[in-house]
Structure 1
């Protein structure tokens, strides 16, 4: 048999034993060195052993000289690592003592929610930490291992309620920084025979640092600052928009937050410059949180801030600066669009109010974001909604010409009057050219006019609609002037020429010229033969369509018109008057047996009462026949109602009316002698743009009806393509869709799966 492997193993064991023995015996004679090592090991183990600090009996005295000598022997024998392992093992066995004390303090806190027990526990645990800490002579490795093991054990035994208690204690220390006196229990944390610290909370922060709580709960420490910042901003800045608050908030942080931050974040600073350097990182994070909190607040208030503009300019400038640090532009857009949909873009909102808010949005978002990306994203649904409103163009035009009844103007008087801005191509050769913002949409550049009027007009594809509405509104305003003073309208036309161009306002100039010429013509006629009739003569082909209605003026009124027309023909033989009998007003004195009543009324009402001078009783049917009109009976009944209100007529039966030559008992003296001016003519004399378009679409309806009759069902695109062959058709498919939907509501057509057909 071969025993060679056993012999090699035996030699290896003998070699290791000899080396270990030599190291422990230190080359001394016999086993002298081994005995001295054994004694040194016992002294060192006994010195390092973690003792129970709650034991009142004093530990056996040890001479520090003997302890140092024992560590020197172990160092020579290279046994300090083994000693460290034994020490850590002993500490692990004794850690239940620390756990027991932690539980005592935490039970007290859970019962009272008083953070002083968290503070006392921290100070007490630090005593255990210092009491068990190995001497520095053993080197940094043992100290680091000890600290890691001790702190790990502390973390493992802290109950969940510690987080709540630790945060409450942090809040308490925040208040202590600004208190003239401190609680008695806080003063008791300073050990006896120690000078008082510069700050009452210094012992606590030192304990937190020793136990590693500041690093482990760094987010909790920061959250205290965050919560104070949030509370201060909500308290001082909510609904306060008239001034910039960001500078004041930062000053408040310097006075209140920074002094507290020195202990957790700059404890080791030797001077102010070092402290400033150490606080720079956390200070930047806190400033970011200030901007984020203020941005969140202003974002939640953005709709009301815009309503309050320009008084809210301070809040807008704060928001602009904050958004440069905080990437919350998309949240601002979403919040404002949601608020607009809820509070603005609904049938209950007046178009004038929507336009006013839209203009404020334009001005406000240009402050917050000068490139206009936010405005482009917010304005899109507003523009689409306004485009579908039938009176949007009228409201914009009314503001352009300074319509007093439309409220505040959409145009700022301080803004320079300038032509409408057209879309411009990118000039990449411009040395000042800048790329699009990263969050800009593909259509951004082509939808960014700078002045308010250009922005409003760009809601629609063409400015021709505005020019037509300008003509309608100007016609109404000119016809409403009774004193012959057209200077205001002349000035409006000159301003509108700058905006829309000379050619677009030529028709308006003709209308203005008609009014001045009409004034001169009337003056000439009155000079030739004085008359109570004053007519306004206009050129039919240069004016928007006027409200239609034909009837014969009876009696005196008819004679006045005929005489005036005769004099006009003598003055201008090449022209002939075509009267519009339903337009204008008449001032009448109604002489009855016992009273005289003055009234200012439209021609139809004057014609009705004129007929009662022939006989005292008329039916509605007879009145219509006498005036040879095509009006409905409701118009006659409405006209008669004016004279009933004034106590001149009385309804005798169904559609039969009688003149009251003598006032009925109790009526005389209790009726108004003059009809209120506001009810003279409730319907404007000029046909509105919507009425003109509706009338024109009625013509096109004949074409649509013929298509659907001959071809059956058709899609909207097919109807649109075929209508393009109709004379004068210039509508887009969206306008056609709106018309077809209106026809569907009236029961003329039906639609299914996008296919339209006639209703049978």
Structure 2
């Protein structure tokens, strides 16, 4: 039955009066009969226009929000509020907002009841239009949800929240988090004990302990969260601030707890702290305290759990960033810092900071390690620590490969790298490489690792990370042998064997004794690494030492037939020239008495060995002297040069440097430097420029006996590496001359190939790269010993 316009007007008047009865709009709303409201609503529903009630009400509420509630609410946040007032401020503002909006909440429930009536099945007599309306209303959004969307849009417009509002909200939640942690940890009680005579401030609210506001702030905290939750504004109002506060808290806590300490594992402690303190506070923000109505809300619990997973990621990320900044120091302190490495490895598996770690560590190495101010030995020590630490951090070896490649390239540019490595291998005080040598594993060179992977352990195999170099096999990366990695810096065993020969020769000739037990032990360990063939020359060198001991014993026993007596006792180190490295060649003319004793020793040796003789190196060795002066005796061990200088002062007490230089065949500059030692010992005095006299009596007239050992003589007995290489290249030159004499012209590649077959055999020559050979041949062209034309080399014709 159709209703008249008067009936529609009366019904709408009843609805409008009832739903406009907000106490904010009408402090004394008229009493409306429920029966009248129900009849009015049924009238509109029966005529298919019941849905306009909700639309009208939400429009009215929206206008009230826009004109009155939102401006008043945002006006409170026009400026920053001090921290000691923020609790009361937030309590007042949110309570007023809740009071304004809560008046609409009962009406929204009534609207949902009306919507339920609209959604009931229509009688069969209704036309098709009403059926379509019914199907559309089935999926309508509840009025409360629509209202909450309006609250958010009007009060907290997205991307337009005032900066001061965000700052005050963050200040409030930062304060309540601190208070929450303080009350949990019972810091207030601890601070109050036995300190009644002092003014103590609470660590939570920062007030005097007699006027602590922590419990009040916690009450305000729960009240504000509950009111915002009921209005549907909690996430929009507090979400960003809560996230920021938690981020800041995690970063501060991780920095304060872990920075600078690498010897303890902190990850499990941090996870416990996050679960009990941070997640506990977060749960109180979104779920309220236990017993609260929303505490068991499954939707809220799900949101907290999802948020918790992000917090754990943030914790791992923060810890990883802190450790990445400290990684250089962590590596230097390895193995004491292994707990920090293990924690970092766990975090890297859960974060996406691998590339940041690689970039940061490479930068740290280049700025703090790879520059001329750092000794090669220190670079090698750091490199070895890096190998060990990064093997723990990344067992695949990919991070080590990426990070340490600049270190390897830099070490190749240093002339003393090989010597430092070999010295460390055979130095008792250097435990890192000495321990590796004792392990006795064979060398694993890069070119030996390119074969097929060992699939015996295929069940435990896992692929390399995506940042791995595809040209290298995982087997070569995962090799934990440090010595192999050091040798692979150059990729040549011969280089290290030759350096060891030089080092061994230096040690034998500087110690001047026949005890080679330790050297034999090192040699046997090196054989396991480099092979016996490579170290055959070193075996001969040690055998020469043993033979020298035996020959000296036979000569000094005087049992040889035709034994030649020696005025000065001589003990010789008899060396097989072709097996020893090149010696440093210095000229020195020895005094006649010493020369006669050396000649007698040579005669005795020839008697013992038949067809062999000796070629003396007079500048090498050690001389034991007893110097008798008027008031004292001095016992001293010194070099032949020093001994020759002081022995000449037996002939006369005054010499010029030029006179000694002529008679000793030693350059003036070298001689002046050597004489400075005797000056420092008070035996010589420079009377005038380059003129020295012997001092027979000391100033105190004492009759002391001094035992002096010269420690300044650290110069190697071997030729420099440059001089040795030049000698090796001269050996190649003799082969090259022979080739070009027979074949007339040859290109560079052919010369290099033929040298590899005929000349590059054994430690006496070593290898020569094609670039080094080209440089050598170009130098010969400049010296006019070769002619280069048309891409081939030839010898110049005689007389040209």
Unaligned runs of 5+ in 2: 113-140, 184-203, 206-210, 559-564, 737-746, 781-800
| 1:48 maps to 2:19 | yes
| 1:137 maps to 2:110 | yes
Q: Contact 1:50–1:90 at 8 Å: present in 2 too? A: no
> Per-residue displacement from partner, 1:188-217 (whole Å, max 9, x unpaired)?
99xxxxxxxx96633322222244433335
Q: Identify if the C-alpha distance between structure 1 residues 398 and 111 changes in structure 2 by more than 3 Å, giving closer, same or farther.
A: closer
**Partner residue of 1:556 out of 572, 586, 593:** 593
Q: How do 1:615-626 and structure 2 match up within 5 A?
A: 615-626=652-663
Q: Identify if the C-alpha distance between structure 1 residues 289 and 555 changes in structure 2 by more than 3 Å, giving closer, same or farther.
A: same
2:697 counterpart residue number: 663
* Residue 266 (structure 1) shift: 4.2
**Partner residue of 2:439 out of 416, 436, 446:** 416
| 1:116 maps to 2:88 | yes
Distance in 1 separating the partners of 2:716 and 2:212: 85
1:637 counterpart residue number: 672
Distance in 1 separating the partners of 2:538 and 2:24: 103
* Residue 677 (structure 1) shift: 3.0
Distance in 2 separating the partners of 1:318 and 1:734: 47
Figure out how many residues of one structure are paired with residues of the other and give that number.
Answer: 685
1:678 counterpart residue number: 711
Moved more, 420-429 or 285-294: 420-429
| 1:238 maps to 2:259 | yes
1:165 counterpart residue number: 168
Q: Identify if the C-alpha distance between structure 1 residues 641 and 279 changes in structure 2 by more than 3 Å, giving closer, same or farther.
A: same
> Per-residue displacement from partner, 1:630-686 (whole Å, max 9, x unpaired)?
x312222233333333333333444333333x437x37559994444312x231212
Distance in 2 separating the partners of 1:135 and 1:609: 115
Q: How do 1:359-758 and structure 2 match up within 5 A?
A: 359-402=384-427, 404=429, 407-412=430-435, 416-422=439-445, 423-424=448-449, 425-427=451-453, 431-432=458-459, 433-445=461-473, 448=477, 449-528=479-558, 532-627=569-664, 629=665, 631-660=666-695, 662-663=696-697, 666=699, 668-669=701-702, 673-679=706-712, 681-694=713-726, 696=728, 730-732=767-769
| SS of the residue 2:408 aligns to | helix
- Root-mean-square deviation (Å): 3.6
* Residue 170 (structure 1) shift: 2.1
Q: Contact 1:402–1:409 at 8 Å: present in 2 too? A: no
* Residue 336 (structure 1) shift: 0.8
* Residue 450 (structure 1) shift: 2.4
Moved more, 377-386 or 265-274: 265-274
Q: Identify if the C-alpha distance between structure 1 residues 188 and 571 changes in structure 2 by more than 3 Å, giving closer, same or farther.
A: closer
Distance in 1 separating the partners of 2:350 and 2:234: 28
2:309 counterpart residue number: 284
* Residue 152 (structure 1) shift: 1.7
Q: TM-score, normalised by structure 1?
A: 0.82
Distance in 2 separating the partners of 1:565 and 1:237: 71
| SS of the residue 2:503 aligns to | helix
Distance in 1 separating the partners of 2:384 and 2:331: 10
Q: Identify if the C-alpha distance between structure 1 residues 653 and 605 changes in structure 2 by more than 3 Å, giving closer, same or farther.
A: same
> Per-residue displacement from partner, 1:205-259 (whole Å, max 9, x unpaired)?
2222244433335343322222211111011011111111110000001210121
| 1:128 maps to 2:151 | no
* Residue 741 (structure 1) shift: 14
1:309 counterpart residue number: 334
* Residue 614 (structure 1) shift: 2.2
Structure number with the bigger relative contact order (C-alpha 8 A, sep ≥ 6) is 2
**Partner residue of 1:206 out of 202, 226, 234:** 226
Q: Contact 2:752–2:773 at 8 Å: present in 1 too? A: no
Moved more, 643-652 or 232-241: 643-652
> Per-residue displacement from partner, 1:243-288 (whole Å, max 9, x unpaired)?
1111000000121012112244446766599986553321111111
Q: Identify if the C-alpha distance between structure 1 residues 389 and 669 changes in structure 2 by more than 3 Å, giving closer, same or farther.
A: farther
* Residue 395 (structure 1) shift: 0.7
Moved more, 449-458 or 650-659: 650-659
Q: Contact 1:115–1:165 at 8 Å: present in 2 too? A: no
Q: How do 1:178-197 and structure 2 match up within 5 A?
A: 178=181, 180=183
Q: TM-score, normalised by structure 2?
A: 0.78
> Per-residue displacement from partner, 1:481-533 (whole Å, max 9, x unpaired)?
34432111111111111111111111111011000110011011110168622
Q: Identify if the C-alpha distance between structure 1 residues 623 and 270 changes in structure 2 by more than 3 Å, giving closer, same or farther.
A: closer
* Residue 452 (structure 1) shift: 0.6
Unaligned runs of 5+ in 1: 1-21, 26-30, 190-197, 705-717, 744-760
| 1:174 maps to 2:177 | yes
2:236 counterpart residue number: 216
> Per-residue displacement from partner, 1:292-317 (whole Å, max 9, x unpaired)?
00110000000011111111111100
Q: Identify if the C-alpha distance between structure 1 residues 732 and 416 changes in structure 2 by more than 3 Å, giving closer, same or farther.
A: same
Distance in 2 separating the partners of 1:355 and 1:539: 34
* Residue 436 (structure 1) shift: 3.0
1:758 counterpart residue number: none
1:751 counterpart residue number: none
Q: Identify if the C-alpha distance between structure 1 residues 646 and 576 changes in structure 2 by more than 3 Å, giving closer, same or farther.
A: same
Moved more, 589-598 or 668-677: 668-677
| SS of the residue 2:692 aligns to | strand
* Residue 562 (structure 1) shift: 2.1
Moved more, 160-169 or 214-223: 214-223
